[in-house]
Amino acid sequence: MKTQALGMDRPLVEICGLSIGFANENGGAPLVQGVDLMIRPGECVALVGESGSGKSLTARSLIGLAGRGARIGAERFEIAGRDALAFTERDWRGLRGPFAGLVMQDALVSLDPLRTIGAEIEEVLAHHRVLRSRAGRRARVHDVMTDVGIPEPAMRARQYAHELSGGLRQRALIASAIAAGPALVIADEPTTALDVTVQAQVVAVLGERLAQGVGVLLISHDLAVVAGIADRVLVMHGGKVVDSGATPDVLQHPSHDYTRQLMAAQPSLESRGHRLSSARMAVTTRGAMPAIVRDPLPPRAAPSDRVVLDVGGIGKTFGRRGGGRDERFTALDDVSFQVRQGEVLGIIGESGSGKSTCGNIVLGLLEPDHGAVRFLGREWNGAGVGETARRALRSRIQYIPQDPLSSFDPRHAVRELLAEGLHSRGLSKAGVLDRSVELLEQVGLSAAYLDRRPVSLSGGQRQRVAIARALAPEPALIVCDEPVSALDVYVQAQVLDLLVSLQARLATALLFISHDLDVVAHLCDRVLVFKSGRVVEEGDVEGVLAHPRHAYTRLLKASAPTLWQKHGERRDEAAPLARELML
Quick: pLDDT tens for 415-436.
999 999 898 888 999 999 999 9
Q: How confident is the model at residue 162 (pLDDT cuts 50, 70, 90)?
A: confident
Distance CA 102, CA 19 (A): 21
pLDDT, residue 287, reads: 58
**CA-wise closest residue to 57 among 22, 27, 23, 5:** 22
Q: Which numeric CATH code is attached to 13-264?
A: 3.40.50.300
pLDDT, residue 476, reads: 95
Domain boundaries in the chain? 13-264, 307-547
pLDDT of 448 over the 50 cut? yes
pLDDT of 527 over the 80 cut? yes
Q: How confident is the model at residue 390 (pLDDT cuts 50, 70, 90)?
A: very high
The amino acid at residue 305 is D
Q: How confident is the model at residue 333 (pLDDT cuts 50, 70, 90)?
A: very high
Report CA-CA distances (Å) from 85 to 58, 74, 89, 410.
Answer: 14, 8, 11, 38
The amino acid at residue 29 is A
pLDDT of 387 over the 60 cut? yes
pLDDT, residue 572, reads: 46
The amino acid at residue 45 is V
Q: Quick one: how far is CA 368 from the chain centroid? A: 28
Distance CA 219, CA 567 (A): 17
Query: Is pTM beyond 0.85 here?
Result: no
Q: Are 20 and 54 in contact (CB under 8 A)?
A: yes
Distance CA 219, CA 45 (A): 9
pLDDT of 369 over the 50 cut? yes
If one counts every other C-beta atom within 10 angstroms of the C-beta of residue 313, the result is: 14
Distance CA 15, CA 23 (A): 22
Q: What digits encode the pLDDT tens for the residues 485-505?
A: 878 888 888 889 988 988 888
Distance CA 182, CA 180 (A): 6
Do the domains spanning 13-264 and 307-547 agree at the CATH topology level?
yes
pLDDT, residue 166, reads: 67
How many residues are there in the chain? 583
Helix axes 166-178, 134-147, angle to 10 degrees: 130
What average pLDDT does range 564-572 have in this prediction? 48
Report CA-CA distances (Å) from 390 to 169, 307, 376, 378, 417.
Answer: 36, 18, 11, 9, 22
pLDDT, residue 77, reads: 96
Q: Are 297 and 273 in contact (CB under 8 A)?
A: yes
If one counts every other C-beta atom within 10 angstroms of the C-beta of residue 304, the result is: 13
pLDDT, residue 326, reads: 64
If one counts every other C-beta atom within 10 angstroms of the C-beta of residue 380, the result is: 23
Distance CA 566, CA 577 (A): 21
Q: What percent of the chain has pLDDT over 70?
A: 91
Give the largest CA-CA distance in the chain: 72
| CATH label, 307-547, candidates 1.10.3720.10, 1.10.357.10, 3.40.50.300, 3.40.50.920 | 3.40.50.300
Distance CA 537, CA 88 (A): 58
If one counts every other C-beta atom within 10 angstroms of the C-beta of residue 149, the result is: 17
- Sign, Cα dihedral of 65, 67, 69, 72: negative
Report CA-CA distances (Å) from 163 to 30, 158, 194, 315.
Answer: 42, 10, 17, 21
pLDDT of 174 over the 60 cut? yes
The string of DSSP codes covering 320-380 is PTTS-TT-EEEEEEEEEEEEETT-EEEEE--TTSSHHHHHHHHTTSS--SEEEEEETTEEE
Q: How confident is the model at residue 547 (pLDDT cuts 50, 70, 90)?
A: very high
pLDDT of 549 over the 60 cut? yes
Bridge partner residues of 381 (DSSP): 373
